[in-house]
Structure 1
Amino acid sequence: MVALHRFVVLTATLLLTSSAWGETSNPYLPRARQLLEELRYPDAARALEQARAHPGNDRDTLLEILELQGVVAGMLQQPAKARSAFQTLLVLAPDHRLEGDYAPRVVTPFFEAKSWVSDKSAALGLEALPSSAEASLLSVQVKTDVLNLGRLVRFHLREGGDAWRAQEQPLVEGKASVERKGGRVEWWAELLDERRAVLTSVGSDASPLVALAPGALVSSAPAPAPVSPLPEKLPRVAGAPGSPLRTVAYACLGLAVGAGAAGGYLGWQSNQARARVVGAPVDEAGYTQGLTQREAFALDARARAQGGWANILFGVAGAAAIAGGTLWVLGAPVGVSATPTGVVVGGAFP
């Protein structure tokens, strides 16, 4: 009876998952979806390998293939292979969630991969490099390619009202560049793997980057404002030891200590919740013991929320400490006077 229930749930999950994905130009992916619906996992694995090897997959298609490869490997009790597919998936899309309610043998390697990506800050990125208006190159740089996925960059350029034109350039030490014309250029770029699948991008055809014409950013600096001469004597400004600034400084430093302690506690709670998911025991059949998928997702959500609040509190603590230190210094007695060589500032810090 339990086996029948699992069969019904898994079949419904796969049907919902396949209907959620859009159309694709990859000829092997629809076949892989059909095999998954029929629970023919070995055949589905081979179809997904063909789909992954097909050149020119767009980003959405690539993410679907990687997710389904992880699911199939998990159902075939191949945790290392499932974890590898999920690691690649989450490097490209760190916030990705599984599209369905899967068995623990699938969920466990997924959360292990998520923890690995988070611990290593391994999210893949592509950024445009700054250049002056006189530069003849448009350049991009890959950020954090821990799996060494990137091979090429496809630049899309448009001058004036012309159509987009594409040009591919190889990555050299994590960077790629393309020649630009002299006028105003709209552009964006995609990072490709060895099969020319789209990994990530910077800009888009709907929201392109803009490189201005040479000289457009050059402007003469405004003339400096006239400086009034110093008076022979400046009034002395004194702050009493009991200055209100010192009182505010102590309050800020107290806030820094409290926020730091609260942030540390929430960070510890976040690590504990994540450890429960990643460290859950697995039996010989690959099932996680004592933890359902719903509980795993709840723990992951709690770990992320507590981690986010911990980071905010650490930021508050740092800002309060800086403000408190600054106000403490400013609250000290200070004297200002003019001399023939300049201005002299003196003070005491009791």
Structure 2
Amino acid sequence: MSSLPPLLALITALLLASQAWGQTPNPELSRARQLLDGLRYTEAARSLEAARAHPGNDRNTLLQILELQGVVAAMLQQPAKARTAFQTLLVLAPDHQLTGDYAPRVVTPFFEARAWVADQRAALRLEAAPASKTDTTIEGVAVQVTTDVLRLARAVRFHLRADEAPWRQEESPLLEGRASVAVKGERVQWWAELLDERQAVLATVGSASAPLRETAPRPQALTAPPKPLTGTPALEGAPGSPWRTAAYVFLGAAAGTGAAGGYFGWRSRSARAEVEGAPVNERGLTTGLTQREALALDKRARSNARLANILFGVAGVTALTGGTLWVLGAPVTVSATPSGVTVGGEFP
């Protein structure tokens, strides 16, 4: 009597699974469910093997078979076989949840399989690869399998539609994790199914209701550069011309002499402030400096002021020269027009 609750839970789970999955075109799967309803696990296991061998199972049917194979193996106390079935199930559908509230002997190998898939990063991945294109036409589409640790995949069935043509199917073998098919058109819709050795659908990219779309790039109109007027050659001064080089030299010299002028001006003001800020007595006579020190400070203030003025003048002249050379070094064109000579260019 102690085994009755788990058996009732299993029966309930199978009934719920049958309602959720609905009808299936695989007759062996339907028979396996009937055997499970009668708790005939050994016969159900044989029916599930036949259902798995049935060619052309769709993805939903394949997932149902794998889950039930794991459940039956666990109920027959075959944990290694249960883990293998659950590993295959979770490689194909990592987020899959068991249907129903199963006993620990079923749940334990299921979660062991889930941990293995996560640790090995074994989830099967099918992705669209870049399409083959010319400037005006799609030439082909492709898919690639980035992860297949159980080596289940064998071929890819493409569903294709170019421009307004009818949909068609074409199967391509999987070679080194990649499959492709030729298709020609400006606009292509497609989706693909990854197949195992029994033509069961392992994974899909896109779908009949949401196909992938490829569009050929439109060639861009080329605009020819304007042709210069003939008759008079253009005179140009490139940014790297000697004029620009000389302009850099003069502008750099202007910056340097200006900075030096500022320094000597500061020294002049400092000396003048030291004289003017010396303390005086009640009769107005300076007491903080001697006459000799005051004269020396005054002489230094005048000398530094004179030197600062000279440097500022030099900086102004070199800056003006550098600016002139910079303008002369700008690109300039001279051309003849019916009304005379035209001078053009780009100036900063």
**Is the shorter-chain TM-score for this pair beyond 0.5, marking a shared fold?**
yes
Aligned to 1:187: 190
How far, CA to CA, are the matches of 1:60 and 1:221 in structure 2?
52
**What do residues 94-116 of structure 1 show as CA deviations (whole Å, max 9, x unaligned)?**
00000011111111110010000
Give the conservation status (yes or no) of the 8 Å contact 2:131–2:141. yes
**Cα distance, 1:117 vs. partner?**
0.4
In structure 2, the residue corresponding to 1:28 is in which secondary structure? helix
In structure 2, the residue corresponding to 1:113 is in which secondary structure? helix
Give the conservation status (yes or no) of the 8 Å contact 2:132–2:141. no
**What do residues 306-336 of structure 1 show as CA deviations (whole Å, max 9, x unaligned)?**
xxxxxxxxxxxxxxxxxxxxxxxxxxxxxxx
Aligned to 2:59: 59
In structure 1, the residue corresponding to 2:131 is in which secondary structure? coil
How far, CA to CA, are the matches of 2:95 and 2:211 in structure 1?
24
Q: 1:171 aligns with which of 171, 174, 178?
A: 174
The 5 A counterparts of 1:1-350 are: 1-134=1-134, 136-213=139-216, 216-219=217-220
Gaps of 5+ in 2: 225-238, 256-325, 327-348
**Cα distance, 1:4 vs. partner?**
2.5
**What do residues 184-208 of structure 1 show as CA deviations (whole Å, max 9, x unaligned)?**
2111111000000000011111111
Provide TM-score, normalisation by structure 2: 0.61
Give the conservation status (yes or no) of the 8 Å contact 1:153–1:192. yes
Provide TM-score, normalisation by structure 1: 0.61
How far, CA to CA, are the matches of 1:77 and 1:106 in structure 2?
9
Aligned to 2:338: none
Aligned to 1:285: none
**Cα distance, 1:222 vs. partner?**
10
How far, CA to CA, are the matches of 1:148 and 1:193 in structure 2?
9
Structure 1 residues 113 and 162: alpha-carbon distance in aligned structure 2, compared to 1, 3 A threshold = same
Kindly report structure 1 stretches of 4+ aligned residues shifted beyond 6 Å.
220-223, 229-235
Which one-letter code corresponds to 1:155 in the other structure? F
Give the conservation status (yes or no) of the 8 Å contact 2:32–2:45. yes
**What do residues 55-77 of structure 1 show as CA deviations (whole Å, max 9, x unaligned)?**
00000000000000000000001
How far, CA to CA, are the matches of 1:168 and 1:9 in structure 2?
43
**What do residues 208-249 of structure 1 show as CA deviations (whole Å, max 9, x unaligned)?**
111224xx25436999xxxxx9997899xxxxxxxxxxxxxx
Give the conservation status (yes or no) of the 8 Å contact 2:152–2:196. yes
**Cα distance, 1:10 vs. partner?**
2.3
Give the conservation status (yes or no) of the 8 Å contact 2:162–2:186. yes
Give the conservation status (yes or no) of the 8 Å contact 2:6–2:102. no
Give the conservation status (yes or no) of the 8 Å contact 2:74–2:105. yes
**Cα distance, 1:3 vs. partner?**
2.2
Which one-letter code corresponds to 1:71 in the other structure? V
How far, CA to CA, are the matches of 1:92 and 1:221 in structure 2?
49
Structure 1 residues 199 and 221: alpha-carbon distance in aligned structure 2, compared to 1, 3 A threshold = farther
Higher Rg: 2
How far, CA to CA, are the matches of 1:78 and 1:23 in structure 2?
28
Aligned to 1:343: none
Structure 1 residues 120 and 221: alpha-carbon distance in aligned structure 2, compared to 1, 3 A threshold = farther
Give the conservation status (yes or no) of the 8 Å contact 2:154–2:174. yes
Tell me the matched-pair count. 229
How far, CA to CA, are the matches of 1:72 and 1:65 in structure 2?
10
Aligned to 1:327: none
Give the conservation status (yes or no) of the 8 Å contact 1:141–1:174. yes
Give the conservation status (yes or no) of the 8 Å contact 1:133–1:217. no
**Cα distance, 1:137 vs. partner?**
2.1
Which one-letter code corresponds to 2:183 in the other structure? R
In structure 1, the residue corresponding to 2:185 is in which secondary structure? coil
How far, CA to CA, are the matches of 2:219 and 2:28 in structure 1?
53
In structure 2, the residue corresponding to 1:187 is in which secondary structure? strand
Give the conservation status (yes or no) of the 8 Å contact 2:12–2:100. no
In structure 1, the residue corresponding to 2:133 is in which secondary structure? coil
**What do residues 269-298 of structure 1 show as CA deviations (whole Å, max 9, x unaligned)?**
xxxxxxxxxxxxxxxxxxxxxxxxxxxxxx
**Cα distance, 1:164 vs. partner?**
1.7
Structure 1 residues 217 and 115: alpha-carbon distance in aligned structure 2, compared to 1, 3 A threshold = farther
Identity of aligned residues (%): 63
